[in-house]
Amino acid sequence: MNEKIKIIDKGGVTSAQGYKAAGVTAGLKRSGKADMALIVSENEAEFAGAFTTCVFKSAPVLVCEKRVKQGGKIKAVIINSGNANACTGAKGFESAEKMCSLTAEALKISENSVLPASTGRIGVQMPMDKIANGIAKASTAIKSDGGAEAALAIMTTDTVPKEAAASFEINGKKVTVGGMVKGAGMIAPKVKTAELHATMLGFITTDAAIDRKLLYKFLSNTVEESFNKVNVDGDMSTNDTVILMANGASGVEIKENTPEAVLFAAALDYVTTSLAKSMVMDGEGVTKFVTLEITNAASKNDAILCARAISNSLLCKTAWFGGDPNWGRAMAAAGYSGASFDPDKVDMHYDDKIVVKNGMDAGTPEKELAEVMKNRSFTIKVNLNCGTASYTMWTNDISYDYVKINAEYYT
């Protein structure tokens, strides 16, 4: 990371200047835990959004995409957990719009300056009496240090809140990027920035001033290098959403192709990458954090195909859970991935231990490989030896607890 970037300890979505947030209990969750969050910018903020490519898009995603097409700036994001408002038809869309209008009324701002987001159970209509109560509570609870409470309120099967923030200085003025994310299961996002076009929800704030076109460029680049490299269980959600807001409160303007833009991109990448990795570490029932490094592929697409196949393989994931160094499963996944390579040239390592050489067993004692797999975190390196392209993904094992959580899931 750029040495000029400073990590903010316990930073989050309200670390940047001019933002307030709240997390409250509206009664959507059976557990009685906090289930509604509100982020408010004191100034109007430019925004960029990246959303699920799932055909069954939730009502809040559709409303967000509508706001994108309308243009304009935003001042607030209202988020609920406990109900996804997905596969709910016209009534669900009306409910998502109502969330915006209720929030706007409470804050005395324009309805078009509010974005909605939801996570939870699919196919259930929103209990709007509870939503209205939660919005009323949240609007009076917002505060400049409310980011941590908001991060708690957007959790579903997450076991810990996920926050990150970083800053840098430009001519004596401090610029901050902060964010929060939720996601522990149903995580294999493939979000795309929508300029005209158990879930991951991510909200990033900055006090820099950035025009919309450049903001979308920053978001598109960072999403590809962070959230889209995560794969917990291979399931894409109906609700995946990432929102990036820029309110200009720092007094620093970021322009394209400048040293300031380089610093901003580095700070943004730190925040999104930290949040992306934290989702894997907190995946449902996860006991192993696995980094997949595919190198020397004929093309980047081949490297991506190979990484995604291995990260999606239940046989690989269950072997990792059991600490079983069954490298044949990873080789098989690479083989059916659709990537083009010569199997007789492939090498593979578990951390620094060679496992496969020229497509065959490298002779490293299985006991040594099993020791590597006892670690909470390890890296699997697959060298295709047929080009110069590479790709990295972050994934995990599948445990008994994953099955239990999802067999009994009801937020």
Asked whether residue 357 is assigned to any structural domain, the reply reads yes
pLDDT digits (tens, 9 = 90+) for 260-277: 999 999 999 999 999 999
Do 241 and 380 share a domain, yes or no? Answer: no
What is the model's pLDDT at position 193?
47
Q: Quick one: 215 and 298 in the same domain?
A: no
> Does residue 1 form part of some domain?
no
Which phi and psi (to 5°) does residue 102 adopt? Answer: -65, -40
Q: Which of 43-47, 82-86, 104-108, 228-232 has the lowest mean pLDDT?
A: 228-232
> Domain check: are 113 and 181 in the same one?
yes
Region 225-246: what's the mean pLDDT?
86
pLDDT digits over 138-187, tens only?
999 999 999 999 999 999 878 889 999 999 999 999 999 999 999 754 44
pLDDT of residue 230: 87
Does residue 251 sit within a domain? yes
DSSP letter for each residue of 324-341: ---HHHHHHHHHHS----
Q: Does residue 238 carry a catalytic annotation?
A: no
Average pLDDT of the segment spanning 401-411: 68
Distance CA 301, CA 405 (A): 34
pLDDT digits (tens, 9 = 90+) for 321-342: 999 999 999 999 999 999 999 9
When mean pLDDT is compared across 59-68, 112-121, 229-238, the lowest value belongs to 229-238
User: Are 36 and 80 a contacting pair, CB within 8 Å?
Assistant: yes
Question: Does pLDDT of 198 surpass 50?
Answer: no
Question: Quick one: pLDDT band at residue 233, thresholds 50, 70, 90?
Answer: low
222 and 111 both lie in a single domain: yes
C-alpha to C-alpha distance for 290 and 287, rounded to whole angstroms:
10
Domain boundary among 281, 297, 330: 281
Average pLDDT of the segment spanning 110-133: 95
Q: Which pTM value belongs to this model?
A: 0.91
Residues 13 and 148 in one domain: yes
pLDDT at residue 114 above 80?
yes
pLDDT at position 188 over 50: no
**Strands 114-119, 74-81: parallel, antiparallel or unpaired by DSSP?**
parallel
Q: Are 293 and 400 found together in one domain?
A: yes
Identify the domain boundary among 218, 251, 281: 281
Asked if residue 113 belongs to a domain, the reply is: yes
Quote the pLDDT of residue 187. 41
Using pLDDT thresholds of 50, 70 and 90, give the confidence band for residue 200.
confident
CATH number at residue 312: 3.10.20.340
336 burial type by CB count under 10 A (0-12 exposed, 13-18 middle, 19+ buried): exposed
Quick one: pLDDT at residue 248?
A: 98
Residue 238 DSSP code: S
Report yes or no on 59 lying in a domain.
yes
| Enclosing H/E stretch for 155 | none
pLDDT (0 to 100) of residue 402: 78
Print burial letters for 195-214: b (CB count within 10 Å at least 16), e (below 16).
eeebbbbbbbbbbbbbebeb
**DSSP labels for 93-125?**
HHHHHHHHHHHHHHHTS-GGGEEEEEES-TT--
Q: Are residues 381 and 247 in the same domain?
A: no
Are 274 and 293 in a shared domain? no
Report pLDDT digits (tens) over 24-64: 999 999 889 999 999 999 999 999 999 988 888 999 999 99
The counts of H helices and E strands in the chain are 11, 16
pLDDT number for residue 113: 97
353 and 394 housed in the same domain: yes
User: 146 and 86 share a domain?
Assistant: yes
52, 119, 157, 199: which is the annotated catalytic residue? Answer: 199
| Whether pLDDT at 189 is above 60 | no
- The total domain count for the chain is 2
- 302 and 261 within one domain: no
Instruction: Tell which wins on pLDDT, 227 or 192.
Output: 227
Q: Which pLDDT band holds residue 199 (cuts at 50, 70, 90)?
A: low
- Percent of the residues in the chain that have a pLDDT greater than 70, as a whole number: 94
Give the residue-averaged pLDDT of 91-120: 97
CB contact at 8 A, 180 and 147? yes
Domain hosting residue 196, numbered range: 6-281
Q: Are both 274 and 295 inside the same structural domain? A: no
Domain of 147, CATH number, reads: 3.60.70.12
Domain boundary among 246, 281, 316: 281
Q: pLDDT per residue over 340-393, tens digit each?
A: 999 999 999 999 999 999 999 999 999 999 999 999 999 999 999 999 999 999
